[in-house]
Amino acid sequence: MLTLTSPVKTPLHQMRAGPKLATLALFTFALFWTTSPLHLGIALVAVVALYLTGGTQFARHGARMLRPLWPFVAVVGLWHLWLDDLTAGAVVLLRMGAAVAAANLVTVTTRLSDMITVLERLARPLAPLLPPQRLALAIALVIRFIPVLSERAAQLGQAYRARSGRAPGWRLFAPAALAALDDAENVSQALRARGGTG
């Protein structure tokens, strides 16, 4: 759910974030409740149909955002082939595909600020323990940090390959962790300079 809101407008963009997130929660619950490949297949087809309501450009964008799912599909599929349990494999793959595709659909049709507003509202009962504004800021920072840290790790990997001619592998862990700590320190100083988190 780290993709940006799609610039291609669809009818789903007009819906409020709260109902969309509630529907996603109920849909995901239903996916994990059923074990019928037929019902899961219908759910996946329904999600694909929702993508197609935005046109082919929007559907292609959604398919591109699901590309990181393919390694998991391959591993789960091969594992169940090895176990000779194709029905269980189909259930897992259909459930995973429908759930991730639905979550991605909500993400690309909902602004992050609207989702954070909903989460702030839901977190109000926890206000004595955890102020909702801090929770919202933490979520926004995590969502922003993940692509930044991925790019930093890729740059470190390229630098290592340029010097050694080999893939970095586990050697990338320490410099990537130090870079993440350095970025976190810079962000905390910037927040303090602007008056903290409230």
Q: Are residues 141 and 100 in the same domain?
A: no
**pLDDT per position as a tens digit, 47-90:** 999 999 888 888 888 888 888 888 888 888 899 889 888 889 89
110-158: pLDDT as tens digits:
887 888 888 888 888 877 887 877 777 777 777 777 777 778 888 888 8
Does 96 score more than 80 pLDDT? yes
Q: Are residues 108 and 36 in the same domain?
A: yes
Residue type, 154: A
Supply the pTM of this predicted model. 0.70
Q: How far is CA 83 from CA 34, 38, 87, 89, 166, in A?
A: 22, 21, 11, 9, 36
Same domain, 15 and 110: yes
Statement to judge: residues 67 and 136 lie in one domain: no
CA distances from residue 132 to 107, 124, 129 in whole angstroms, order as listed: 21, 6, 9
Last residue of a domain, one of 107, 123, 139: 123
Q: Is residue 2 part of a domain?
A: no
Single-letter amino acid, residue 168? P
* Domain that includes residue 86, residue range: 11-123
Count of the separate structural domains present in the chain: 2
In this structure, is residue 5 part of a structural domain? no
- Indicate if 116 and 65 belong to the same structural domain: yes
Whether 52 and 116 map to the same domain: the answer is: yes
Same domain as 175, residue 100: no
pLDDT confidence bin for 2, thresholds 50/70/90 = very low
Q: Is residue 1 part of a domain?
A: no
